[in-house]
Amino acid sequence: MIGAFACLDKGYDYAVVRTLANEHGIRLHLRRRGEEAQAKRHRGDRARRWVVERVHAWLNRFRGILIRWPKKRQNYRAFICFACGIIAAQQTLP
């Protein structure tokens, strides 16, 4: 994994994580709490949520994923793909 890049928050700011990342050739980008909000405020922009947080919030609207009704792994994965398709369609349509 040469050239890999990981965006993480303050929760992953530990020596063990940094050591493992260096061993695997991953470059870390660690944001401290409030760092992005402060930078955006300085420029006059609003702070934005991380992509993963936003996707998890969208996926939590689907009760079948949240509670995990399907017993089979394939059915659960298909439901996640279906939900991601619905989310993508909602984001692209006006």
Same domain, 42 and 61: no
| Residues 42 and 65 occupy one common structural domain | no
Residue 1 pLDDT > 60 = no
pTM of the model: 0.46
Confidence band, pLDDT 50/70/90 cuts, at residue 79: confident
Tell me the average pLDDT across 73-88: 88
Instruction: Tell me the one-letter amino acid at 65.
Output: I
The residue segments making up the domain with residue 88 are 49-94
Residues 91 and 59 in one domain: yes
Are 39 and 9 in the same domain? yes
When divided into structural domains, the chain yields a total of: 2
**Mean pLDDT within 14-43:** 77
Angstrom distance (rounded) from CA 81 to CA 31: 30
Report whether 1 contacts 28 (CB < 8 A): no
For residue 37, name the pLDDT band (cuts at 50, 70, 90). Answer: low
45: which 2 tokens? 């922009």
Q: pLDDT exceeding 90 applies to what percent of the chain? A: 2
Same domain, 29 and 70: no
The answer on 70 and 36 residing in a single domain is no
Give CA–CA dist 2/26, Å, rounded. Answer: 7
Kindly calculate the radius of gyration of the chain based on its CA atoms and give it in whole angstroms. Answer: 18
Q: Are residues 63 and 82 in the same domain?
A: yes
